[in-house]
C-alpha cells in the first residue's frame, strides 16, 4: 500500500491511501495524476479530517469520469459517519440529475472518506482521456442560529459568538467584532445594529499553484489556474493586469494613457478578459465591461522618460464569479517583500522572440539590488527616472523575457508570513527586451491610494 500526503494532491500508484487535514481555507484534492488522464486499475482512499468541533465541506470543481451503466464502472464514493455512502460516476448512467461538479457535500461528523476507483480494462490502460476529478475541501462548523437558516463557521472563529455567512469557498468572513448572522448576506453588529461587510475575497491562494522549480529560468508556459489573477487587457494594444477583490483590475497607467501620444484617440474602449491562459479562450469567455478608470494623479503622460506613478485601477461594472481560474492577488504590507535576491514570478501575454504569443507565459526573476540597476542605467547613458516608487527585477547576465504586451501585469512573490502570493510590482518600463533589468511600479507605496479608490473614498 502506498501512503502519500502531498499538499492534498494525490500522485500515481496502483493503490493509494492518504490522510488530509482540513483547514480554514480551501485546499485541493484530485484523482491520481489529474489533470492528465487517469489509468485503469487504480484505486485511492483519501480520509479528510477536520479539527474537533468542525465538519468537512467538499465541493467538486471538475468531474470527468468514464461513463458507465448504473455506475458499475469508474466511480468516486463519498462516505461519512452515520449516513449512507454517495456514489458518483460519469454523467451517463449516474443517478444524479446533473454532473457532480460544483455540488457541495458536508460530512455529518468531523471526517469524510473519498474513494476513487478506476476499474481494470482488458484493452488500453488509458481511459479515453478522462482526467478524473478536482475537488476543494475545507473545515467548517455547521451551527443552527436563530431561525431556520444554516450557517457555517471556520476554524479560528468562536462558534457561539461568530457565525460565518460566507457560503462561497473563495470568500472568508471579516472577523472584526461580535456579530449575529442573518439568513442573507450581511452581518449585524449586536452592540449598535450597524451593518458591516460580511465577506472578503480569499487572495493569493491558487487552487492549482505553480510548481516551483529552482532550476527553471527564462519563459515557461503557464498552466490553467497557476496565475488566476492574470487579466488580459486591450486598450491601445495588448496589456496585462491583476484582479483585486472581485471587481477591480490593477494595471499600469501607461496602458491607458501611453507615452507616445501620436496614437491617442478619444473614447478609446477598455476591454478586460479573465479566466484562461489562451487568448482565443479568453475572447470566447467574453469582455468584462469597465465602469470607470482611475489613474494615479502622479502619472505624467507627456513626460516620456518619467514613469513615476505608473499605476491605475479599472473598476468592472459587475463582480466576477470567482473559481479556480479566476482569483484575486493580495497587496503587499511590508518592505521585506522587496529584499534584494528574493525570487518572484511575472506572467503575461507579451511579445516573445519577436512574436505575439497566444498563450500565457511566466518567468522567474529575482529582485535586483537598486545600486546595480542605477549603475546599469548610467552605463547605457539612460535618462529615465528611477524613483523611489519603482524597483528593478532581473539579472544583468540573464535574458529579460518581459516585453511589449506584458505592461500592467504584476510581479508576485510568496509571503512566508501570511502564506499567500503578493503583487509587489507592476510591469512598467525597460530598455529593450534583451539581457538586463526590468523596472516595476512599487505597489507597496500605493497601497493607501488603492484602498481609498476601492472603498470609494477618492
CA distance 428 to 373: 15
Sheet holding 230-234, edge to edge: 271-274, 230-234, 238-244, 248-251, 312-316, 290-295
pTM for this entry? 0.67
Burial 403-421 (b: 16+ CB within 10 A, else e): bebbbbbbbbbbbeeeebb
Cα dihedral across residues 240, 243, 249, 253: positive or negative: negative
Task: Supply angle C-alpha 192, 197, 199, rounded to 5.
Answer: 135
Active site amino acids: 254, 310, 407
Cα separation values, 6 from 3, 101, 128, 254, Å: 10, 23, 27, 42
Integer CA distances (angstroms), 293 to 304, 310, 433, 457, in order: 21, 14, 29, 15
Specify the pLDDT at position 47.
Answer: 92
In the chain, which segments carry CATH 2.60.120.290?
Answer: 2-140
449 membership: H or E segment, kind and range: helix 447-454
Arch. (CATH architecture) of 2-140:
Sandwich (2.60)
CA distances from 394 to 193, 257, 261, 412 (A): 52, 26, 29, 13
Rounded-to-integer distance, Cα 127 and Cα 346, Å: 36
With vertex at residue 234, the alpha carbon angle to CA 363 and CA 440, rounded to the nearest 5 degrees, is 40
Q: For domain 219-454, give the fold.
A: Thrombin, subunit H (2.40.10)
Per-residue pLDDT tens listing for the chain (458 residues): 233 322 333 333 456 678 888 887 778 888 988 888 888 888 889 999 988 888 888 888 778 888 887 778 889 999 887 777 888 887 653 344 345 655 678 888 889 999 999 887 665 544 468 888 888 888 877 654 443 434 444 444 433 333 345 556 677 766 544 444 443 333 344 444 444 445 788 899 887 888 766 556 667 889 999 999 999 999 888 899 999 999 999 999 999 999 876 555 555 789 999 999 999 999 999 999 999 999 999 999 999 899 999 999 999 999 998 888 999 999 999 999 999 999 999 999 887 665 677 899 999 999 999 999 999 999 999 999 999 999 999 988 776 677 777 899 999 999 988 888 999 999 998 887 767 899 999 999 999 999 999 998 66
- Give the per-residue pLDDT at 12: 38
In 348-387, alpha helices (H): 370-379
The segment(s) of the chain belonging to CATH 2.40.10.10 are 219-454
Q: What is the pLDDT of residue 400?
A: 67
Amino acid at each position: 500500500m502506498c501512503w502519500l500526503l502531498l499538499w492534498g494532491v494525490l500522485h500515481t500508484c496502483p493503490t493509494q491511501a492518504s490522510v488530509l487535514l482540513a483547514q480554514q481555507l480551501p485546499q485541493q484534492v484530485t484523482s491520481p495524476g489529474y489533470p492528465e488522464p487517469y489509468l485503469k486499475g487504480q484505486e485511492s482512499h483519501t480520509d479528510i479530517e477536520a479539527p474537533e468541533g468542525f465538519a468537512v465541506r467538499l465541493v467538486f470543481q471538475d468531474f470527468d469520469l468514464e461513463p458507465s451503466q448504473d455506475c458499475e464502472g469508474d466511480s468516486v464514493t463519498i462516505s461519512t459517519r452515520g449516513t449512507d455512502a454517495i456514489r458518483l460516476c460519469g454523467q451517463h448512467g449516474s443517478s444524479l440529475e446533473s454532473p457532480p461538479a460544483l455540488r457541495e457535500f458536508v460530512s455529518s461528523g468531523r471526517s469524510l472518506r473519498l474513494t476513487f476507483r478506476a476499474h481494470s480494462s482488458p484493452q488500453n490502460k488509458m481511459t479515453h482521456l478522462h482526467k478524473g476529478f478536482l475537488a476543494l475541501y475545507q473545515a467548517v462548523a455547521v451551527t443552527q442560529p436563530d431561525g431556520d437558516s444554516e450557517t457555517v463557521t471556520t476554524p479560528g472563529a468562536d462558534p457561539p459568538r461568530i457565525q460565518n455567512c460566507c457560503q462561497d469557498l473563495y470568500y472568508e468572513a471579516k472577523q472584526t467584532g461580535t456579530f449575529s448572522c442573518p439568513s442573507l448576506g450581511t452581518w449585524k453588529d449586536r452592540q449598535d445594529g450597524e451593518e458591516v461587510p460580511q465577506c472578503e475575497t480569499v487572495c493569493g491562494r491558487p487552487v492549482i499553484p505553480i510548481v516551483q522549480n529552482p532550476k527553471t529560468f527564462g519563459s515557461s508556459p503557464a498552466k490553467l489556474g497557476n496565475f488566476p489573477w492574470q487579466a488580459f487587457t486591450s486598450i491601445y494594444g495588448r496589456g496585462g493586469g491583476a484582479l483585486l477583490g472581485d471587481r477591480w483590475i490593477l494595471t499600469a497607467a501607461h496602458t491607458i494613457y501611453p507615452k507616445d501620444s501620436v496614437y491617442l484617440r478619444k473614447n478609446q474602449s477598455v476591454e478586460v478578459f479573465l479566466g484562461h491562459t489562451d487568448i482565443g479562450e479568453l475572447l470566447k469567455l467574453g469582455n468584462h465591461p469597465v465602469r470607470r478608470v482611475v489613474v494615479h494623479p502622479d502619472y505624467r503622460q507627456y513626460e516620456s522618460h518619467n514613469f513615476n506613478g505608473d499605476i491605475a485601477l479599472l473598476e468592472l461594472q459587475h463582480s466576477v464569479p470567482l473559481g479556480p481560474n479566476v482569483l484575486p492577488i493580495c497587496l503587499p504590507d511590508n518592505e521585506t517583500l522587496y529584499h534584494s535576491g528574493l525570487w518572484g514570478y511575472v506572467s503575461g501575454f507579451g511579445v516573445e522572440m519577436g512574436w505575439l504569443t497566444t498563450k500565457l507565459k511566466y518567468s522567474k526573476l529575482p529582485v535586483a539590488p537598486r545600486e546595480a540597476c542605477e549603475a546599469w542605467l548610467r552605463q547605457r547613458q539612460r535618462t529615465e527616472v528611477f524613483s523611489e516608487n519603482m524597483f528593478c527585477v532581473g539579472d544583468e547576465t540573464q535574458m529579460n523575457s518581459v516585453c511589449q504586451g506584458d505592461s500592467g501585469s504584476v510581479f508576485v512573490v510568496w509571503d512566508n508570513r501570511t502564506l499567500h502570493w503578493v503583487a509587489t510590482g507592476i510591469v512598467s518600463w525597460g530598455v529593450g527586451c534583451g539581457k538586463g533589468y526590468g523596472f516595476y511600479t512599487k505597489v507597496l507605496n500605493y497601497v493607501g491610494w488603492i484602498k481609498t479608490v476601492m472603498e470609494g473614498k477618492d
